Amino acid sequence: MDKLVSLCKRKGFIFQSSGIYGGINGCWDFGPLGVELKRNLRDHWWHTFVTSRDDMVGLDASILMHPRVWEASGHVEKFHDILVDCKACKKRFRQDHLESEICPDCGGELSEPRTFNSMLRTRMGVSEDTAVETYLRPETCQSIFVSFKDIASSTRVKIPFGIAQIGKSFRNEVNPRNFIFRSREFEQMEIEFFCHEDEAADWFDRWQQEIWGWYLAIGLHEDKLRWFEHPKESLAHYSKRTVDVEYEFPFGWGELQGLANRGVYDLTQHSQYSGKDLSFFDAERKERYLPTVIEPSAGVDRTVLALLCDAYDEDTVKDETRVVMRFHPKIAPVKAAVLPLVKKDGLAEIAETLEKRLRRKFITYYDHAGAIGRRYRRQDEIGTPFCICVDHQTKEDETVTIRHRDSMEQERLPMADVDAFILKQVSVRDIF
């Protein structure tokens, strides 16, 4: 992890938030490479689960919502962590994390457990007496339930169908830790899939397969993934069944995504609290009912962390160790680097023109500084899958070499074919 965290900082993937002020616990900034990695991940997810399906629609709701939402959802009453304080070192721990925490070996006596609500409070409105106290949303899914009626009446969705949303969530985590694994501000990719109760078990199984397939499609190693079935007695208050996808991080197995059968809990609660009928007329069954909800809920940041851990590799080439980030080409932040073999003889000009052309189609990088071997290593370290080298032969026959990051093998291609060759492998859409 130390190597990865330092590479992320050095290369501009992830920085501590407010670093020049000493940082702020549980918040992270995605730098120039991190932002592209994250964007590719979101695009891949949205394409897979929303735009390429005919039973899904999207939503981008506001983060701030009516405070009653959080009463209806159960968050005001139930979204608590149980805390204990160490009387000697004054550190605070989540009781359910005590065994895996490092500190309590200071030996201090622990206080009685007490509850602590994990939502971040905020005040909206300009005057003290009329300002409303509400919360930064702790999960994106509640706005899906709250907008359910608007979506149902403004689109032609038919049961079964899903609503997807990607967005920020906030939780006042007691101990943010393990880099971006547990933070206070993070991003979720959530789907609420609405179906008839009789079909819920079947949809649960289908979603389990879809989710697994997606982690493989973004390039994670299958032997680093596993399912965890939540025992009945520890299910969240809204859940009838939950399974998690876990990834084996350097610090141990950790949850990437939950898949829950939420039953009719949320729509029932919001119907009651808002006084609005949230039932749906199923034209096929000729029946009006509150649909059952199957919820795949994934974390963007945790998936980014899994991608970073999974991609990191060191190998030795001719007694020299190279660090290589083996990202899937669709996920890699920079898709291709264009490198003139040497700066002189007009090669730099040809390379620059080619790079400008490619940049309009995918993210590229131009570099002419230093020996070609060193320039390849720099690209390996940020996971660029293809390096295009413009050499003297280019001037004669308009071909270039393409060097593959993982095998380091090179092949020659006509310069005119480079765009399609790369696009085919890096696009998250099936464009060919």
The verdict on 367 binding ligand GAP (CB under 6 A) reads no
The verdict on 266 binding ligand GAP (CB under 6 A) reads no
The verdict on 139 binding ligand GAP (CB under 6 A) reads yes
Q: Which residue is nearest to ligand GAP (CB)?
A: 299
Among 81, 246, 301, 380, the residue binding ligand GAP under the rule CB under 6 A is 301
Q: How far is the CB of 176 from ligand GAP (least distance, A)?
A: 7
The verdict on 163 binding ligand GAP (CB under 6 A) reads no
User: SS3 for 185?
Assistant: strand
Q: How far is the CB of 308 from ligand GAP (least distance, A)?
A: 14
- CA dist 271 and 292 (Å) reads 14
The verdict on 186 binding ligand GAP (CB under 6 A) reads yes
State the amino acid at position 114 in one-letter form: R
List of residues 6+ apart from 176 with CB closer than 8 A:
25, 26, 182, 183, 184
Among 302, 335, 368, 405, the residue binding ligand GAP under the rule CB under 6 A is 302
Chain centroid, CA 18 distance in Å: 22
The verdict on 43 binding ligand GAP (CB under 6 A) reads no
Could you tell me how many residues of this chain bind ligand GAP (CB under 6 A)?
18
The Cα diameter of the chain in Å comes to 79
Among 8, 41, 50, 141, the residue binding ligand GAP under the rule CB under 6 A is 141
The verdict on 334 binding ligand GAP (CB under 6 A) reads no
The verdict on 34 binding ligand GAP (CB under 6 A) reads no
- CA dist 15 and 264 (Å) reads 41
Binding positions for ligand GAP, 279-298, rule CB under 6 A: 297-298
Angle value at C-alpha 299, between 206 and 218, nearest 5 degrees: 65
List of residues 6+ apart from 428 with CB closer than 8 A:
40, 43, 44, 47, 330
- CA dist 46 and 162 (Å) reads 12
DSSP characters for 391-422?
A: -HHHHHHSEEEEEETTT--EEEEEGGGHHHHH
The verdict on 40 binding ligand GAP (CB under 6 A) reads no
Contact residues toward ligand GAP (CB under 6 A) are: 139, 141, 171, 173, 182-183, 186, 188, 190, 255-258, 297-299, 301-302
